[in-house]
Amino acid sequence: MTSAVTTTTFGERLRAATDSFGPLCAGIDPHRSLVESWGLTYDVDGLTRFTETCVEAFAGHVGVVKPQSAFFEVFGSRGVAVLERAVLALCESGTLVVLDGKRGDIGSTMAAYAEAYLADDAVAPADALTVSPYLGFEALRPALDLAAGTGRGVFVLGLTSNPEGRSVQHARLRDVSVAETMVRGAEAENAQARSQGRLGSVGLVVGATVGSAVQELGLDLAACNGPLLAPGVGAQGGTSEDLRRVFGDALPNVLPSSSRDVLSAGPGVEPLREQAVRTSANLAEILR
């Protein structure tokens, strides 16, 4: 079991981490093709070596790391144990962990998800968790409240780049899009932090490759005052121009996420670390 994170908020710790190490959120995505490209077997042993290499490369050298839970869960309890060890090791090094689990449910089930990943006495609590709000933003209340109480954060799916997302996220009810509802919800949660001149701890997931969708839907991402996790940078095609076009005035709050582009430098620890540090430095120039 772990003790409480700190008395500071996730938003404050995130700002400090990106100021020190740059804005990169390095993904740990041990899917089959990547594991095998490192010359490892796609089993628990290969998963363990892959993950431990990433932890050694990133811990204390990258501000934020985002393990994708599904790629560990596929191996059952042994895979989840690998993930838990990685989260604990990264947190002990001072590197922040955003667990990409995209959990979302209602009532006691959502509360259980929150307790599993955000409670002080969880087995391996992360600094933040990605959550899915498509049972309604307020259905996230157990996670929002527990994260606030333990100094952790959540990243709410807001505007994703997959083609299927448009049918839900762009839909409108009384002239307000579903995506705007999520932005407004995060803005309300971060209002106190804004009044105190701090970055909020309720972030949004906004794909770096959503094109002109932010402008088309009239989303004010800067007003959200929360971190903006931006997957899609690098191998998925997201460019510096995309970041500027999508995020505009909210660029200082963007946390670009890159997995394959960084992980392709493995399997050596040093090349992997160098790629992550170089990528973060390049992103820092873009986001200035």
In whole angstroms, what is the distance from residue 175 CA to residue 122 CA?
Answer: 41
Q: How many CB atoms lie within 10 A of CB 89?
A: 18
Q: List active site positions.
A: 102
- Of 53, 86, 24, 71, give the one whose Cα is nearest residue 258: 24
The DSSP code for 233 is B
**What is the length of the chain?**
288
Q: Which two tokens stand for residue 264?
A: 């392709």
SS in 3 state form for 160-223?
Answer: CCCHHHHHHHCCEECCEEHHHHHHHHHHHHCHHHHHCCCCCCEEEEECCCCCCHHHHHCCCHHH
In terms of DSSP H, where are the helices of the chain?
10-21, 32-37, 44-58, 70-73, 76-93, 107-118, 141-150, 166-169, 178-189, 191-195, 213-217, 221-224, 240-247, 260-263, 269-287
Q: How many CB atoms lie within 10 A of CB 166?
A: 15
Amino acid, single-letter form, for residue 177:
S
Quick check: helix, strand or coil at residue 97?
A: strand
- The answer to whether 193 and 201 have CB atoms below 8 angstroms apart is yes
